[in-house]
């Protein structure tokens, strides 16, 4: 026990001894430092000079920030104009511009589809004509057979006429009475035979012409089928080109809108960056007030009489030094924030420039040769050029088809003219029928007058009557066939009237006008694209100028860095006079928190003093503890609606 107490006493005595030696050494060192330290008045004067320089640095940059704001406003206005012009150009081209007249593309789409329908309808009509011409041909063949029957009838009449002449020769009375009849029958027989021959000749001529017309139409129809197939391909090509343009336009519109959203986001970054001036000004103001406190602590009249070597002074200098160190940290943070803001603003402008390039390039989504220097395969992929080529091809096909239909019409007209001649025979055939009936009646009456002597002639007269009936039947059949042929041929003519030709001419004119509209739209698009690309280039130059104007931010950082060095030098002036062991007991530093208006300032304060002593209370609720409505949450952490 005694040994243990002795040991404890020895340890304590040793510790006290060490402490005394350390204290002595501290005093010696402190005395040595104080002999090298600047006078406190010099520190206070340096702080006063410094404050003026810091205020000047903060104020000096305001004009630069305001100029940046004006440049941003101008750029955004130009961007909006550019986007509006780009969207208008695309919408006008694609034709989905609200309130605009029917778009060129939609109009062309309808036009090419109608053209194909017209062509197919006309092909159907031509095909119908061919069928009618075939039908006329068949009827004409029937007429040819009737002509043979008529010729046989003429022969029979001649035989009957001969018989009458033979029988009437038996008596003078008979001869007187039937000589004329016989002559009339012979003349009629000649007439019937001549008519039959003439009709046959005309029928064969008409049939040949109809056949030729039919062959011509048939060949034309085959050619028309080829044209229709080509036109169908041209229409499909045109529709595909239109769809490509429409789809390109849609994607270009979506692209332009995406670029605008991205630009707006970057504008937002610059807007936030510009606000650093306000934050910097407030923080510099707080630094200045803190430095005033530090200067007051160093001034000879701060605490009454200055005791240069007492502990009271050491505590005051330590407090002043801590305040300055804290302001060094605050200023360092301001410089860092400006550097970050500069980088963010520079990046934002770079991204805006890229988005503007993308916006202008969105016009190229339409895959048009805006620069006019595409050639070969590249030009072939240009849907505008391709559409124009397809439309030109379609117009040529339609013109060719129209010419072909005209030629078919001419053929049909010629066939009609030939067949009309057959109509003239109907009167003559009618006359023959009437005359033979008159002769038959006359012969029967005369035979009756002759009584018994005329009995043989009566038989022959009855024969004439039978032939008359037969002739009338033939006449009716010939008339019926001729009538049918003429009607059918006239129908051919009716179906090919000028209305169709007008429509065909109208279709070709519409296509020509459509091609002109496409060309005009293309020219407008090219002009607008060139203008937009030019404006985009100007805007890029404007942004490049603004980017070079951002140089004031590094200059500001440089200026503040020099002020930071000066503040560090001032702190160094005080350092020999401070006592590390007193740092935790200075209240002046924690009182600074009352001036803070920003989370940033409190954060810097807390971080610096974390190890030096108790942290100041946090007057802000951590974000996770804030009770916010979901609606307010959407607005962001820095927004609270009451």
By CB under 8 A, name the binding residues for other proteins.
62, 65-66, 69-70, 72-73, 76, 80, 264-265, 267-269, 271-279, 281-282, 597-599, 619-621, 631, 634-636, 638-642
Distance CA 388, CA 401 (A): 20
C-beta of 72 vs 105, nearer to other proteins? 72
DSSP 32-95: HHHHHSPPHHHHHHHHHHHHHHHHHHHHHTHHHHHHHHHHHHHHHHHHHHHHHHHHHHHHHHHT
Counting beta carbons within 10 angstroms of the beta carbon of residue 580, is it exposed (0 to 12), middle (13 to 18) or buried (19 or more)?
Answer: exposed
Q: How far is the CB of 260 from other proteins (least distance, A)?
A: 12
C-beta of 452 vs 620, nearer to other proteins? 620
C-beta of 186 vs 279, nearer to other proteins? 279
C-beta of 384 vs 596, nearer to other proteins? 596
C-beta of 565 vs 640, nearer to other proteins? 640
Q: Which helix (H) or strand (E) holds 506?
A: helix 498-549
Q: How far is the CB of 636 from other proteins (least distance, A)?
A: 5
C-beta of 3 vs 642, nearer to other proteins? 642
**Among 346, 356, 347, which residue's Cα sits nearest to residue 263?**
356
DSSP 316-350: HHHHHHHHHHHHHHHHHHHHHHHHHHHHHHHHHHH
Q: How far is the CB of 264 from other proteins (least distance, A)?
A: 7
Q: Are 44 and 291 contacting, i.e. CB atoms less than 8 angstroms apart?
A: no
C-beta of 523 vs 618, nearer to other proteins? 618
Q: Are 133 and 214 contacting, i.e. CB atoms less than 8 angstroms apart?
A: yes
**In the structure encoding, which two tokens stand for residue 570, read together?**
């001032």
Q: How far is the CB of 287 from other proteins (least distance, A)?
A: 14
Q: How far is the CB of 80 from other proteins (least distance, A)?
A: 8
C-beta of 585 vs 597, nearer to other proteins? 597
C-beta of 172 vs 638, nearer to other proteins? 638
Q: Reduced to 3 states, what is the DSSP secondary structure of residue 112?
A: helix
In degrees and rounded to multiples of 5, residue 628 shows phi and psi of -120, 150
Rg (CA), the chain: 58
Q: How far is the CB of 563 from other proteins (least distance, A)?
A: 21
Q: How far is the CB of 275 from other proteins (least distance, A)?
A: 4
Q: How far is the CB of 77 from other proteins (least distance, A)?
A: 9
Q: Which helix (H) or strand (E) holds 301?
A: none
Q: Reduced to 3 states, what is the DSSP secondary structure of residue 616?
A: coil
Q: How far is the CB of 601 from other proteins (least distance, A)?
A: 9
Q: How far is the CB of 280 from other proteins (least distance, A)?
A: 10
Q: Are 82 and 492 contacting, i.e. CB atoms less than 8 angstroms apart?
A: no
Distance CA 53, CA 559 (A): 10
Which residues are within 8 A (CB) of 624 and not within 5 positions of it... i.e. 6 or more apart?
A: none
Q: How far is the CB of 233 from other proteins (least distance, A)?
A: 51
Q: How far is the CB of 357 from other proteins (least distance, A)?
A: 22
Q: How far is the CB of 392 from other proteins (least distance, A)?
A: 47
DSSP 208-269: HHHHHHHHHHHHHHHHHHHHHHHHHHHHHHHHHHHHHHHHHHHHHHHHHHHHHHHHHHHHHH
**In the structure encoding, which two tokens stand for residue 375, read together?**
């050639």
Rounded to a whole number, what is the distance in angstroms from the first to the last CA of the chain?
73
- C-alpha 605 chain-centroid distance: 57
Q: How far is the CB of 65 from other proteins (least distance, A)?
A: 5
Q: Are 574 and 43 contacting, i.e. CB atoms less than 8 angstroms apart?
A: yes
C-beta of 65 vs 474, nearer to other proteins? 65
Q: Are 578 and 548 contacting, i.e. CB atoms less than 8 angstroms apart?
A: no
Distance CA 165, CA 157 (A): 12
C-beta of 13 vs 268, nearer to other proteins? 268
Q: Are 363 and 259 contacting, i.e. CB atoms less than 8 angstroms apart?
A: no
C-beta of 65 vs 522, nearer to other proteins? 65
C-beta of 74 vs 155, nearer to other proteins? 74
- C-alpha 103 chain-centroid distance: 11
C-beta of 213 vs 348, nearer to other proteins? 348
Distance CA 639, CA 479 (A): 102
């Amino acid at each position: 026990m005694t040994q243990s107490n002795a040991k404890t006493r020895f340890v304590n005595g040793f510790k006290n001894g060490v402490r005394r030696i350390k204290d002595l050494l501290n005093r010696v060192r402190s005395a040595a430092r104080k002999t090298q330290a600047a006078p406190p008045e010099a520190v206070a004067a340096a702080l006063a000079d410094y404050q003026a320089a810091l205020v000047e640095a903060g104020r000096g940059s305001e004009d630069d920030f305001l100029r940046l704001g004006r440049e941003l406003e101008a750029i955004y206005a130009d961007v909006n104009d550019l986007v509006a012009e780009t969207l208008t150009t695309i919408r006008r081209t694609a034709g989905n511009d609200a309130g605009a007249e029917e778009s060129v593309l939609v109009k062309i789409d309808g036009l090419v589809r109608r053209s194909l329908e017209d062509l197919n309808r006309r092909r159907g009509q031509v095909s119908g004509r061919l069928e009618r011409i075939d039908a006329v041909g068949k009827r004409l063949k029937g007429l040819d057979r009737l002509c043979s029957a008529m010729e046989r009838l003429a022969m029979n009449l001649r035989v009957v006429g001969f018989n009458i002449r033979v029988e009437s020769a038996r008596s003078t009375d008979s001869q007187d009475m039937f000589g004329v009849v016989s002559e009339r029958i012979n003349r009629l027989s000649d007439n019937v035979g001549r008519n039959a021959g003439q009709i046959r000749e005309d029928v064969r001529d008409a049939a040949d012409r109809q056949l030729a017309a039919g062959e011509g139409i048939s060949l034309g129809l085959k050619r028309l089928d080829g044209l229709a197939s080509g036109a169908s391909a041209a229409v499909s090509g045109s529709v595909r080109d239109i769809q490509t343009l429409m789809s390109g336009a849609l994607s270009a519109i979506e692209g332009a809108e995406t670029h605008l959203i991205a630009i707006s986001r970057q504008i937002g970054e610059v807007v936030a960056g510009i606000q650093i001036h306000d934050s910097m000004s407030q923080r510099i103001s707080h630094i200045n007030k803190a430095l005033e406190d530090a200067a007051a602590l160093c001034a000879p009249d701060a605490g009454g009489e200055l005791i240069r070597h007492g502990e009271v002074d050491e505590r005051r200098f330590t407090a002043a030094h801590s305040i300055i160190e804290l302001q060094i940290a605050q200023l360092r943070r301001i410089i860092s924030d400006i550097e970050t803001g500069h980088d963010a603003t520079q990046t934002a402008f770079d991204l805006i420039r890229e988005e503007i390039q993308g916006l202008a390039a969105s016009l190229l989504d339409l895959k048009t040769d805006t620069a006019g220097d595409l050639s070969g395969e590249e030009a072939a992929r240009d849907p505008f050029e391709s559409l124009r080529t397809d439309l030109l091809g379609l117009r040529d096909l339609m013109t060719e088809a129209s010419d072909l239909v005209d030629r078919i019409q001419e053929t049909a007209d010629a066939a009609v003219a030939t067949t009309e001649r057959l109509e003239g025979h109907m009167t003559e055939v009618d006359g023959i029928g009437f005359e033979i009936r008159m002769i038959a009646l006359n012969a029967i009456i005369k035979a009756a007058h002759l009584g018994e002597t005329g009995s043989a002639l009566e038989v022959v007269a009855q024969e004439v009557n039978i032939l008359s009936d037969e002739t009338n039947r033939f006449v009716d059949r010939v008339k019926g066939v001729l009538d049918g042929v003429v009607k059918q041929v006239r129908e051919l003519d009716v179906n090919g009237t000028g209305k169709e030709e007008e429509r065909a001419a109208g279709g070709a004119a519409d296509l020509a006008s459509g091609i002109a509209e496409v060309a005009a739209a293309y020219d407008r698009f090219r002009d607008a694209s060139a203008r937009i690309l030019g404006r985009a280039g100007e805007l890029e130059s404007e942004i490049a100028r603004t980017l070079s104007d951002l140089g004031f931010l590094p200059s500001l950082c440089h200026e503040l860095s020099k002020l930071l060095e000066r503040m560090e030098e001032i702190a160094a002036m005080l350092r020999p006079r401070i006592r590390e062991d007193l740092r935790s007991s200075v209240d002046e530093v924690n009182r600074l928190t009352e001036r803070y208006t920003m989370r940033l300032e409190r954060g810097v304060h807390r971080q610096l003093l974390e190890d030096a002593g108790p942290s100041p209370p946090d007057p802000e609720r951590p974000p996770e503890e804030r009770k916010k409505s979901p609606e307010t949450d959407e607005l962001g952490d820095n927004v609270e609606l009451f």
